């Protein structure tokens, strides 16, 4: 494990993205954008390692959020095998840098000093002045354009401990779970509750989480990757700057997850923003679980849960297939139900039905309710095949796909679910002329 540490706004996330090979961390020229630890698998010269981005380290944090960031940074230092201490060439003789060096020396771990923003020969010469900090290894780099980063990584892999042979227990893919919701519904609290540790910063201040934070773990015989995301708002409410970058990052996380946990605040009740957030997951065709959090804060009787579930089903009719669980991430109430639900939804999301079974179903379904007639011409569906999974996708071959009315399409979708399940998973229906052009149908 290799941790990048340093004061706020010295370019840690830019270096992290450079080594990771993709723009995973949110980068903006504002101090304090990164708050949680951000992990990414990296490789250099055939040597694999885990790279860790950290929030800006302050010896005397200015507020509670920066205090939590400091704790996350100290955890990264404790767990790291090699530490990259990043400084800004334009801020020589900053006393905080000397304080951080004194802290790092007490760890007895290899520390490499990287002087960032060395974009020209003059700045390269100025970087040599940082030898005064007393660290043996010094590299002048530019995270933005990559200058010197290769030499830095050569030294990093030299200092890593010998690789440990890891036995592959199975070739199973990790189930990727995105935790999404509007700001301050308890996404980070749920991530920490599932992991059993303070993996991400939890604060009552909305917008504390900014990066999408991935954590891979094993529970029983399955491997999962939890993706904590920034709070999502409906498109018209997103402000330019940090918030817009965070929302774009959160939306991108949906495109690489298998199952989305859509959080709703039980204390505040169902809000219009919740419907917009759920719409993002539905449009992305991800498996979905509706998670009503903060259930411990609700005054309830025997009808409360049923009435809230009924309201959610009414307001989010397009997610009628998604299971609902009511829990408290803070107290741990019913948190244990999440991973079994994720397993079930993932199985349905990945399910494949053989063609013979599908066409037996099609015969029964069209006999029960005949396809519609339009202007004297009746729709005739010849056969159906499953042409994809994640999400399950079915292609119907017909005499004229334009005759498929949305009501009959909904009937086909409901009958598919009744016959084969697909709980928690969206379905995608397509239509083709037999041997000719294709028409995209409904998703739901």
Q: What is the average pLDDT across 202-228?
A: 67
Contacts of 213 (CB under 8 A, 6+ apart): 36, 37, 38, 39, 191, 199, 200, 227, 228
> Which pair of structure tokens corresponds to residue 82?
């090699």
Question: Could you give the CA distance from residue 28 to residue 365 in angstroms, rounded to a whole number?
Answer: 55
Q: What is the average pLDDT across 363-382?
A: 92
Please give the mean pLDDT across all residues of the chain: 83
Cβ-in-10-Å burial (0-12, 13-18, 19+) of 436 comes to exposed
DSSP count for the chain of H helices, then E strands? 12, 18
Which structural domains are found in the chain, ordered by start?
Answer: 2-159 (3.40.50.300), 175-348 (3.40.50.300), 355-443 (3.30.300.20)
Angle between helices 242-255 and 272-283 in degrees, nearest 10:
50
Mapping DSSP to helix (H, G, I), strand (E, B) and coil, where does residue 43 land? strand
Could you read off the pLDDT of 328-355 as tens digits, one per residue? 999 999 999 999 999 999 999 999 999 9
> Which pair of structure tokens corresponds to residue 357?
């079974």
- The answer on pLDDT for 434 being more than 50 is yes
For residues 337 and 327, the answer to whether their CB atoms sit within 8 Å is yes
Lowest-confidence region among 188-197, 296-305, 398-407: 188-197
Q: What is the average pLDDT across 380-406?
A: 93
User: Given this model, what pLDDT does residue 435 score?
Assistant: 56
Strands 38-44 and 47-53: antiparallel
- Between the alpha carbon of residue 310 and those of residues 225, 306, 315, 432, the distances in Å are 31, 6, 9, 37
How much of the chain is helix, strand and coil, in % rounded to 5? 35, 25, 40
User: Given this model, what pLDDT does residue 157 score?
Assistant: 94
For residues 227 and 259, the answer to whether their CB atoms sit within 8 Å is no
Question: Can the peptide bond before residue 391 be classed as cis, meaning omega within 30 degrees of 0?
Answer: yes
- The answer on pLDDT for 143 being more than 80 is yes
For residues 127 and 147, the answer to whether their CB atoms sit within 8 Å is no
Question: Could you give the CA distance from residue 333 to residue 97 in angstroms, rounded to a whole number?
Answer: 44
Max Cα-Cα span within the chain: 89
The residue among 318, 304, 218 whose CA lies nearest residue 269 is 304
Going through 275-321 in order, the beta strands assigned E by DSSP cover 287-293
């Amino acid at each position: 494990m290799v941790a990048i540490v340093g004061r706020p706004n010295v370019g840690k996330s830019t270096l992290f993205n450079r080594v990771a090979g993709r723009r995973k961390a949110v980068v903006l020229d504002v101090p304090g954008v990164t708050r949680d630890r951000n992990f990414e698998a990296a490789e250099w010269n055939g040597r694999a390692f885990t790279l860790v981005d950290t929030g800006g380290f302050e010896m005397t944090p200015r507020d509670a959020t920066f205090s939590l960031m400091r704790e996350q940074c100290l955890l990264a230092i404790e767990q790291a095998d090699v530490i990259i201490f990043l400084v800004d060439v334009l801020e020589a003789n900053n006393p905080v840098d000397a304080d951080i060096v004194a802290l790092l020396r007490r760890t007895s771990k290899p520390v490499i000093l990287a002087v960032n923003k060395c974009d020209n020969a003059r700045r390269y010469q100025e970087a040599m002045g940082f030898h005064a900090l007393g660290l043996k290894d010094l590299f002048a780099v530019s995270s933005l354009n990559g200058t010197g980063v290769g030499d830095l990584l050569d030294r990093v892999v030299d200092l890593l401990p010998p690789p440990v042979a890891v036995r592959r227990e199975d070739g199973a893919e990790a189930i990727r779970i995105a935790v999404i919701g509007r700001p301050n519904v308890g996404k980070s609290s749920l991530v920490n509750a599932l992991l059993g540790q303070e993996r991400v910063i939890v604060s009552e201040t909305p917008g504390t989480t900014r990066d999408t934070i991935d954590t891979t773990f094993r529970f029983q015989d399955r491997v999962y990757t939890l993706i904590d995301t920034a709070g999502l708002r409906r498109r018209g409410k997103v402000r330019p700057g940090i918030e817009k970058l965070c929302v774009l990052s959160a939306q991108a996380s949906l495109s690489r997850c298998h199952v989305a946990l859509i959080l709703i605040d039980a204390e505040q009740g169902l809000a219009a923003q919740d419907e917009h957030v759920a719409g993002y997951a539905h449009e992305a065709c991800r498996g979905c679980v509706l998670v009503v959090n903060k259930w411990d804060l609700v005054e309830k009787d025997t009808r409360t849960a049923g009435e809230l579930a009924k309201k959610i089903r009414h307001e989010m009719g397009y997610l009628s297939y998604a299971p609902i669980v009511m829990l408290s991430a803070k107290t741990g109430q019913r948190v244990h139900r999440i991973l079994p639900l994720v397993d079930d939804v993932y199985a349905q999301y990945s399910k494949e039905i053989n063609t013979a079974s599908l066409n037996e179903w099609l015969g029964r379904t069209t006999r029960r309710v005949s396809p519609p007639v339009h202007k004297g011409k009746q729709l005739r569906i010849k056969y159906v095949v499953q042409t994809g999974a994640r999400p399950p996708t079915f292609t119907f071959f017909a005499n004229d796909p334009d005759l498929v009315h949305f009501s009959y399409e909904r009937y086909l979708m409901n009958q598919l679910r009744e016959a084969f399940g697909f709980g928690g998973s969206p379905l995608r229906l397509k239509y083709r002329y037999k041997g000719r052009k294709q028409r995209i149908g409904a998703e739901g």
